[in-house]
Chains A and B, each alone.
Chain A
């Protein structure tokens, strides 16, 4: 993990400008509250997401690598990507360019054509918003700042599938004490526990949310999400904390769809971990964009003395 995380390059990605806007807002506000500075990449582009990868995985590597070049040109050695898809793709580009000569050759060729220098692996480290807060601030300071504001809040932490997979593109994980685990991730648990939350044991932390099936077979997505929601409730959770805009949107949308289509109502709330942390730091629900979420947890938050 790069040393100083007080000022890092910021790659929001497309989702955080659309359905995940409240994640963008709350991430920035939490950063401000904690004295962490984010500098958005100038003229960033799509990371290649899932769609470009299907057309040509090498082009996807180039697209992600271009963002890393921009970060380097702006003088940063660390870029923070809060979206699991972006985080995954930037990490994957880093890995591919270091291990796949063909990927490096294609990136070199397209970069030349586009008129900028090609990214060379090792220049910039990509981190997630969880790394940024966990390592940039630390639990001791969070504990001090949040003063147990989330006490009494039972949270199931949901990481989704891309934060830890495939393991080989995350060399910093599974390195023992202090590092993140790919089999049982815990950074979000640690951060929210430091703010006073009571994390419940949740067996589906990294299970598939069905995001990919949303367009081809919504019923599969709805059933997968419903199982996540009911399992979280069975674990005693009042809130599912998320750290990925795709998972978050999927959970919110299919919670509504499960009730409409399958007649299964669930009451567990879905909030970004940055929204929960922001409110624990004294920010209002509006400031962290709760009103931009699809569901309205305002009454629940009031009851909990948050926001």
Chain B
């Protein structure tokens, strides 16, 4: 079982307490009604789906119930970093090659 660090509970908890909530850092346009169909499609449907490091939203649903962001490697399934919702995308990842 994976252990995921919840930034609100400040400790590692078993993965069964968590739910994935899709890609992180997707900002909704402040003028959503003025978006063109193409831009709206990009915002609403198109996701990066990379092989490697991905920034995701997770929710500690069976714990503190809070949403937070996590950096995960989709190849190894290793959680590189977790941080609170609303915090900026970390510029540097610990242990990253570059």
| A and B: interacting chains | no
Interface residues of B (CB under 8 A from A): none
Interface residues of A (CB under 8 A from B): none
